[in-house]
């Protein structure tokens, strides 16, 4: 049986303003990315069962640093700066965007990307750009549709299906993408997220990743790459 990670043992490692100041590029790490106020810090706090692990700002767009958290000597989580909105000068925003792009394009230890979207407003332009870039870079992405407690079951499932069909339109032949609903408030979707992280961080070779855990077989709030691939491809409309 594949090893599993104790996410409650997560510890803050360091904050870096740029790629050059990040920890040594070795081992494996998974980055959390998304629009400002999509719930990145809340998701990390929920995953680690520590309300103070990732700092939550009341002002969207204030997370300016690349924050690293250690799981073991060779495994890390990364909280990336939020994108798409920030009440800061344009020059500063461009600098953040540049550092984010450099990290995503050059970080060799990056094993996968957790892309967070507010379930009520998925697939904003930055989200779609990020997904297309990840596909071109052959980088696995797991979409976390946050704040699922804000919608009833039917609308939540409809939102997940909408995202899944968009993922299918990009990734028609491979199995890079998966999607699930998630609620930090209700503590829903934690096991599914843990299963994805374990499959990425514990794999010896990304090409040999096998999602064998029962939690990775799909379910009401979850669509695996295989299930997404079976969806009928339809044109995406905003």
Rounded to whole angstroms, how far apart are CA atoms 229 and 223?
10
**Rounded (5°) CA angle 40-187-181:** 65
What pTM was estimated for this model as a whole?
0.85
Summarize the confidence of residues 193-206 as an average pLDDT: 85
- Which of 87-96, 97-106, 140-149 shows the lowest per-residue confidence on average (mean pLDDT)? 87-96
Stronger pLDDT, 201 or 105, i.e. the higher one: 201
8-state DSSP, 25: S
pLDDT on residue 136: 86
Mean pLDDT of the chain: 83
Backbone angles phi, psi at 190, to 5 degrees: -65, -45
Are the beta carbons of 178 and 196 closer than 8 angstroms? yes
What H or E segment, with its residue span, contains residue 67? strand 66-70
Answer whether residue 215 shows pLDDT above 70.
no
Q: What residue segments make up the domains of the chain, in order of their start?
A: 27-229
Backbone angles phi, psi at 94, to 5 degrees: -65, -35
Answer whether residue 163 shows pLDDT above 50.
yes
pLDDT on residue 96: 73
**Class of domain 27-229 (CATH, top level):** alpha beta
Rounded to whole angstroms, how far apart are CA atoms 42 and 23?
23
Summarize the confidence of residues 57-68 as an average pLDDT: 66
Closest CA relative to residue 39, chosen from 121, 116, 114: 116
pLDDT on residue 238: 40
Answer whether residue 18 shows pLDDT above 80.
yes
């Amino acid at each position: 049986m594949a090893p599993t990670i104790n996410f409650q043992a997560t510890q803050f490692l360091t904050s870096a303003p740029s790629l050059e100041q990040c920890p040594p590029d070795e081992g494996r790490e998974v980055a959390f990315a998304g629009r400002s106020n999509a719930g990145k810090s809340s998701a990390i706090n929920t995953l680690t069962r520590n309300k103070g692990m990732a700092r939550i700002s009341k002002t969207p767009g204030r997370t300016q640093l690349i924050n690293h958290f250690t799981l073991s000597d060779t495994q890390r989580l990364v909280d990336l700066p939020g994108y798409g909105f920030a009440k800061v000068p344009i020059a500063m925003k461009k600098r953040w965007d540049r550092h984010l792009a450099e990290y995503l394009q050059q970080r060799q230890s990056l094993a996968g990307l957790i892309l967070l979207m507010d379930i009520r407003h998925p697939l904003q332009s930055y989200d779609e750009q990020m997904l297309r870039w990840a596909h071109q870079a052959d980088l696995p992405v797991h979409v976390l549709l946050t704040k699922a407690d804000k919608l009833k079951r039917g609308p939540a499932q409809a939102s997940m299906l909408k995202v899944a069909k968009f993922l299918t339109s990009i990734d028609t032949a491979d199995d890079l993408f998966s999607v699930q609903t998630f609620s930090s408030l209700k503590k829903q979707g934690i096991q599914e997220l843990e299963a994805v992280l374990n499959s990425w961080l514990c794999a010896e070779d990304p090409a040999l990743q096998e999602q064998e855990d029962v939690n990775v077989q799909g379910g009401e709030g979850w669509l695996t790459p295989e299930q997404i691939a079976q969806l009928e491809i339809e044109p995406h409309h905003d």
